[in-house]
Amino acid sequence: MAKRFGILTSGGDCPGLNAVIRGAVLKGETVYGHEFVGFKDGWYGLVYGDIMELDRTHVRGLSNQGGTILGTSRFGPYTEPDGGPENIKKVLKNLEIDGVIAIGGDGTASAAKRLHGDGINIVGVPKTIDNDIDATDYTFGFNTAVEIATEAIDRLRTTGNSHKRCMVLEVMGRHAGWIALHSGIAGGAHAILIPEQPESLNQICAWVTSVRNRGRAPMVVVAEGFKLPDMKEEYSVKGLDGFNRPRLGGIGEVLAPLIEERTGIETRATVLGHIQRGGVPTAWDRVLATRMGMAVADLVAEGGWGQMVALHGTEINRITFDEAVGKLKQVPQDQYQEIRVIFG
């Protein structure tokens, strides 16, 4: 019998969300004869029953579009006065929706896990540019962010070389250094600074100075979550986000004058910011996102509530919310040490 499922995207957007939506709708309609709707603006649309139709005409040509046609927000399903499972059950019943597909990061998966425990039919798709969800080898969006950051490094190098300056590029990633590590390796950075590995200012300046002494312009990539050894917390001066987490960003601007003062090398910082989350997804991310969307259409068709799809090697597998939630994937020491030997 044909069923009706609702899709939502929650948390920070990321390139590939639309390709997931398209993959799910196309497979769900074509193979199973199911119908889909989209909840607008993340959990908000589910709590308040704010939906849009999603049939194949709505997802036409969508896999190359950045952002999410559904909108997103950092809004929790339990935090609003109208939120909570009993209200959500009523909304789903009124709208004749049999189950929910929640596309999001760790916060979204935690909320989905709780809703599932409270009797809601729900499954998940992991997403984040940070690539920090342990349960999946890669998340879509990460590859696009790395490409954008790598291009930024390439561009900063030419201007840095011309002026013989040290260039510092700050990239996103929260508590994980994956974007910094991958873009830094790809762009041939002279130092890569990540949250998992404190490095002293002395060490950073030694790398910068040795690069300058070879007649080159130093290129430093720093993740927004990087801490100097004397910092207790990540650098954050922008308050909290909608999930009450400190908004990170600005460590690059802190480091640049310190490097300049210590080394005497003119230094400039660039904070890449949301540019690395915007625009078209890479082909790699489109493929992963489409495959995840199709796999989640299978999952809801089989009533596999309480599970998420995940990439393991080249396979799309299923894992439970219990297996997925709360496990941060950070850069292992050995992967950092492998590249650290050629810094400077």
In angstroms, give the least distance from the CB of 261 to ligand F6P.
27
Taking CB under 6 A as the criterion, the residue among 35, 41, 106, 130 binding ligand F6P is: 130
CA 106 – CA 86 distance, rounded (Å):
23
CB atoms within 10 A of CB 2: 10
Residue closest to ligand F6P (Cβ)? 172
6 vs 104 by CB, closer to ligand F6P? 104
223 touching ligand F6P, by CB under 6 A: no
3-state secondary structure of 318: strand
Stretch near ligand F6P under the rule CB under 6 A, chosen from 17-25, 40-48, 170-178, 330-338: 170-178
Which residues are 197's β-sheet partners?
A: 194
In angstroms, give the least distance from the CB of 179 to ligand F6P.
8
**DSSP labels for 206-225?**
HHHHHHHHTT---EEEEETT
CA 42 – CA 50 distance, rounded (Å):
10
Stretch near ligand F6P under the rule CB under 6 A, chosen from 23-31, 125-133, 282-290, 322-330: 125-133
128 vs 290 by CB, closer to ligand F6P? 128
In angstroms, give the least distance from the CB of 202 to ligand F6P.
28
Give residue for tokens 């979204």. Answer: 108
Stretch near ligand F6P under the rule CB under 6 A, chosen from 152-160, 167-175, 302-310, 316-324: 167-175
Which residues are 5's β-sheet partners?
A: 36, 99
Give residue for tokens 């998992």. Answer: 196
Residues known to be catalytic:
130
- The answer to whether residues 220 and 169 touch, using CB atoms and an 8 Å cutoff, is yes
The tokens for 138 are 């890669």
Binding site for ligand F6P (CB under 6 A): 12, 128-130, 172-174, 224, 241, 247-248, 277
